[in-house]
């Protein structure tokens, strides 16, 4: 939780600088690339997390890896993070920055889990329906889980809409087990 708060503070500060320099999208792209690189490179994560390696050396490594690909705002931010010894929370900062950018743009992410992969038409219909009910632009993050048997589960922030066959069977089981006939029709 402590790292999340710190990551949020750094992301907010970076967003302020990015907005001031009109480089929000460039910084967002740089941080997405950084996050992907960190997830894919155990060696880089270990190097950045190491208390033995000094901040100046970490800055040099980051400059060598990303200096030609990332913009000046991002590179100054990475140098600051290394200097402050906060490079270990870079993945969280990248996530917080992306979430902050999405919030400012009115975009929400919906995690959708279905028993089988949705086709393009189903995705479009679901997106349209969610956008209509939320009044925002919705980005779908799709997952499959065969244990659902059918239907889908949508998580939109703290709200979970469970329209899976598995859940309907659980509810039916509970009604039969407890003799609850409310909600059933004769």
d(Cα 153, Cα 120) in Å, to the nearest integer? 17
Q: Beta strands 137-144 and 107-114: pairing type?
A: parallel
2-103: what CATH class?
Answer: mainly alpha
pLDDT of residue 100: 93
Note the pLDDT tens digit of each residue in 68-118.
999 999 999 999 998 888 988 998 999 999 989 998 988 988 999 998 999
DSSP helix, strand, coil percent of the chain (3-state; round to 5): 65, 15, 20
Helix (H) or strand (E) holding 155: strand 151-156
Q: In whole angstroms, how far apart are CA 56 and each of 79, 81, 104, 105, 166?
A: 8, 11, 34, 36, 54
pLDDT band at 186 (very low <50, low <70, confident <90, very high): very low
Classify residue 89 by its DSSP letter: G
pLDDT band at 179 (very low <50, low <70, confident <90, very high): confident
pLDDT of residue 137: 92
Phi then psi for residue 86, to 5 deg, are -110, 15
d(Cα 115, Cα 107) in Å, to the nearest integer? 26
d(Cα 82, Cα 139) in Å, to the nearest integer? 32
Note the pLDDT tens digit of each residue in 24-36.
999 999 999 999 9
Query: Domain coordinates of the chain in residue numbers?
Result: 2-103, 107-178
Those residues with Cβ within 8 angstroms of residue 83's Cβ, 6 or more apart along the chain or in another chain: 55, 56, 59
Classify residue 170 by its DSSP letter: H
Q: Is 141 helix (H, G, I), strand (E, B) or coil?
A: strand
Those residues with Cβ within 8 angstroms of residue 134's Cβ, 6 or more apart along the chain or in another chain: 108, 156
Note the pLDDT tens digit of each residue in 105-154.
889 889 999 989 999 999 999 999 999 988 889 999 999 998 877 888 99
d(Cα 52, Cα 39) in Å, to the nearest integer? 21
């Amino acid at each position: 939780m402590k790292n999340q708060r710190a990551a949020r503070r750094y992301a907010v500060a970076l967003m302020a600088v990015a907005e001031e320099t009109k480089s929000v999208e460039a910084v967002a792209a740089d941080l997405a690339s950084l996050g992907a690189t960190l997830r894919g490179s155990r060696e880089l994560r270990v190097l950045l997390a190491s208390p033995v390696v000094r901040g100046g050396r970490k800055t040099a490594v980051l400059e060598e890896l990303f200096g030609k690909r990332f913009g000046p705002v991002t590179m100054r931010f990475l140098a600051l993070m290394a200097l402050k010894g906060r490079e270990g929370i870079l993945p969280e900062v990248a996530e917080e920055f992306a979430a902050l950018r999405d919030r400012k743009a009115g975009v929400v992410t919906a995690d959708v889990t279905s028993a089988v992969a949705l086709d393009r038409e189903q995705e479009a219909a679901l997106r349209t329906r969610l956008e209509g009910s939320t009044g925002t632009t919705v980005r779908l993050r799709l997952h499959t889980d065969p244990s659902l048997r059918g239907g889908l589960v949508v998580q939109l922030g703290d709200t979970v809409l469970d329209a899976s066959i598995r859940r309907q069977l659980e509810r039916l089981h509970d009604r039969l087990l407890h003799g609850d006939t409310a909600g059933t029709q004769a």
